Chains A and B, each alone.
Chain A
Amino acid sequence: MTDETTWIIQAQQGDDEAFTYLVETYQKPVYNLCYRMLGEPESAEDAAQETFLKVYQNLARYDRERSFATWLLSIAAHHCIDRLRRRRFPSVSIDEDEEGQTDIPDRFAPDPESETTKRQERESLHQCLQSLDPTDRAAVIMRYWQDFSEVEIAQALKLTVPAVKSRLHRARRALADLWEDKPAHMRTERKPYGSPAF
């Protein structure tokens, strides 16, 4: 039995300390998902906290045969999708970066210009993500940030595997179109064909 399973069992028996371990372990992936889905640090914090509250209240229903991470992120994704549906106007924060700090380049960094470019690239990508359909966005986040397989994404979002494939295809195409429309300085200066990834 893994440590995580032990914590889950203890938390299911009402041990709040064990649940805190789970919160500390999964706070980053849950917050990241909420931040990428909602686009604002404040909303992301609130959504991540609400996700953990829902998990706390429904922990007795968790099936230990399933992956806890998939179950947890499924709750987070559905919570964010519901929030986005309730939202009247989409809002995107461009004032703050991922750590909640203002976008001031670090002049002591080895290459401030490069740091600024990377930051702009992240911001640009973040803005592109916000224009996707919420479920497509959740699929992309799970694929690239959480490294979920298509089967895991399908389980988390209650979709079929072909539907996930189709959504990922559509989302990548839409992101590429948006990426192309961005000004050149906002896009990466790397040459894809020069990258070891290819």
Chain B
Amino acid sequence: MDHRPFEDWLLDNDQPLTTDQKRQLNTHLRTCSSCTTLAEMNLALKSVKLAAPEVGFSGRFQVRLAAKKHALRRRNFVGFLILTLSVLGLLGLVSWPVLKDLIQSPVNFFSSWISSLVSLWASLQALFRAGMVLFKVAPGFVPAYIWVVILFATGGWSVVWVVSLMKFTKVKQGV
């Protein structure tokens, strides 16, 4: 038996059938058990009703939401606590040698820190003085043309740099 187009109407067509199509389908269904089953199935699906939850669904949701929020807050608090303790522990571990000296002999600790700072300051001053001496003496040793070469080289390098920057950062217009 030829089931087309009846199967297509029953399986794929969600649009309402025309009067003529309905008549043809009804005639076919009287003699075709396969298409009758399809039609029965369609009827059963079209006549189903929505299942409803038990009364108080939104109230139960409020309770669940509150519990979820509470659990989230607790988890955040525990997470923050673990992070803080971890950071403090790590800091303690790293600074333990320094702290140990401080605890054992505070006077020695501070005096060694002050002497370190003083020697650093003295070293910086010596370096500055050496630099000033070099700056005053160097022009006498270096010939004038070397200075000219250095000047031009620096200028050329700057030009190349600026041109390169302009070329690579230029925004194309149009197109």
Please, which residues of chain B bring their CB within 8 A of the CB of A172?
A: 10-11, 38, 41-42
Please, which residues of chain B bring their CB within 8 A of the CB of A41?
A: 54
- A27 to B57 alpha-carbon distance, docked (Å): 7
CB-CB under 8 A for A169 and B11, given A53-B64, A125-B45: yes
Report, as a range, how many residues of chain A touch the other chain.
35 or more
- A165 to B50 alpha-carbon distance, docked (Å): 23
Please, which residues of chain B bring their CB within 8 A of the CB of A173?
A: 11, 38
Contact with A188, one of B29, B43, B61 (Cβ below 8 angstroms):
B43
Tell me whether B46 and A197 are in contact (CB under 8 A): yes
Tell me whether B43 and A49 are in contact (CB under 8 A): no
- A157 to B10 alpha-carbon distance, docked (Å): 23
Task: Report the minimal beta-carbon distance from B105 to chain A, rounded to whole angstroms.
Answer: 57
Tell me whether B53 and A198 are in contact (CB under 8 A): no
Among the stretches A28-36, A58-66, A76-84, the one at the interface with B is A28-36
Please, which residues of chain A bring their CB within 8 A of the CB of B30?
A: 193
CB-CB under 8 A for A45 and B54, given A173-B11, A179-B37, A179-B41: yes
Q: How many cross-chain pairs have Cβ atoms below 8 Å apart between A and B?
A: 115
Contact with A144, one of B29, B45, B65, B68 (Cβ below 8 angstroms):
B45
Interface string of B3-39 (1 = CB under 8 A from A): 0000000111010010000100110011000001111
Contact with A145, one of B29, B41, B50, B61 (Cβ below 8 angstroms):
B50
Tell me whether A192 and B53 are in contact (CB under 8 A): no
B52 in contact (CB, < 8 A): yes
A91 in contact (CB, < 8 A): no
Residues of A174-192 whose CB lies within 8 A of B: 175-176, 179-180, 187-188, 190, 192
Complex A-B: 24 CB contacts under 8 Å: A16-B65, A20-B58, A24-B58, A27-B57, A27-B58, A29-B50, A44-B51, A45-B53, A45-B57, A45-B60, A49-B57, A98-B51, A121-B44, A122-B48, A125-B44, A150-B14, A175-B45, A176-B41, A179-B40, A179-B44, A193-B26, A193-B29, A198-B17, A198-B22
Given contacts A48-B57, A98-B49, 20 further A-B contacts (CB under 8 A): A16-B62, A20-B62, A23-B57, A23-B58, A23-B61, A27-B57, A27-B58, A28-B50, A28-B52, A31-B51, A98-B51, A99-B51, A144-B48, A169-B12, A175-B45, A179-B37, A180-B37, A187-B40, A190-B40, A192-B29
B-side interface residues toward A, CB under 8 Å?
Answer: 10-12, 14, 17, 22, 25-26, 29-30, 36-46, 48-54, 57-58, 60-62, 64-65, 68
